[in-house]
Structure 1
Amino acid sequence: MQITVYGIKNCDTMKKAFAWLNEQGMAYQFHDYKKSGVPTALLAQWAARWGWEALLKKTGTTWRKIPETERLDLDEARALLLLNACPSLIRRPIVMIDGEAALAGFAADGWMQALRQRTQESGNPS
């Protein structure tokens, strides 16, 4: 099972997710989208999976710094452009498992359930 975790290294939620993965002995790759960005096609895949609204992190200072004219009347196309231009606005972490969008945000119980399900689907013992 190939796990890729997308996010920003210094985010508190990311630190919790990394700690949890390490405690579980899960191997993963990390993609820092603040440093490396996120391909538009991948953002579109995430939006198709969870909806663009769920990807947009509106609780941080980055959101508040965006001019109100850019925040009003967002649609998917404009939101994806904004997320691409300001990766700090992307919810984190985002987890891809075997190339598929699997998890958005961190909740230990949800992660455990999703990873067990993936392990069972792949035929590996849990």
Structure 2
Amino acid sequence: MSIILYGIPNCDTIKKAKKFLQEQNIDFDFHDYRKDGLTPELLDNFVEQLGWETVLNKRGTTYRALSDEQKQSLNETSAKQHMLDAPAMIKRPILKVDSELHIGFKAAQYQEIFK
């Protein structure tokens, strides 16, 4: 089983997800967007499986810093460009288990994935 946790290390939700995986003795690789990068192909994979509106983090300060005009004119193309320019705009974490993607973290959700 191949497990990759995608995100940025200082995110509280990432810390909770990492802690859960470590406490359950689940081996995983951590992909840090800032260190390891974010390719258009990887983002396309996220968007294809999860939908751009799900992948886009509308709660974060990076999104809120967009102008009203930018927010109103968002579409898949512009949203992907914003996420490539600022990976903090991607909802976290994204967990890849083999080829299946899961987004967000709740302990119950992860327990279901790894039961």
TM norm structure 1: 0.84
Residue 38 of structure 1 deviates from its aligned partner by 1.4
SS of structure 2 residue aligned to 1:58 = coil
Between Structure 1 and Structure 2, whose CA radius of gyration is higher?
A: 1
Amino acid at match of 2:35: K
Does 2:37 align with 1:37? yes
CA distance in structure 2 between the partners assigned to 1:10 and 1:101 by the alignment: 25
Change (3 A) 1:37 1:77: same
Q: Which ranges of structure 2 fall in alignment gaps of 5 or more residues?
A: none
Give me the CA root mean square deviation.
1.3
Amino acid at match of 2:106: A
SS of structure 1 residue aligned to 2:31 = strand
SS of structure 2 residue aligned to 1:30 = strand
Equivalent in the alignment of 1:81: 81
CA distance in structure 2 between the partners assigned to 1:72 and 1:37 by the alignment: 28
Equivalent in the alignment of 1:108: 107
Amino acid at match of 1:67: S
Residues paired across the two proteins, number = 115
Amino acid at match of 1:97: V
Deviations 1:69-91 (A, max 9, x none): 22222111111111111100001
TM norm structure 2: 0.92
> Is the CA contact 2:46–2:101 (under 8 Å) kept in the aligned structure 1?
no
Equivalent in the alignment of 1:124: none
Q: Could you list the runs of 4 or more consecutive aligned residues of structure 1 that deviate by over 4 angstroms after TM superposition?
A: none
Aligned ranges for residues 65-76 of structure 1 at < 5 Å?
65-76=65-76
Residue 110 of structure 1 deviates from its aligned partner by 1.3
Higher relative contact order (CA 8 A, sep 6+): 2
Q: Which ranges of structure 1 fall in alignment gaps of 5 or more residues?
A: 117-126
Percent identical among aligned pairs is 38
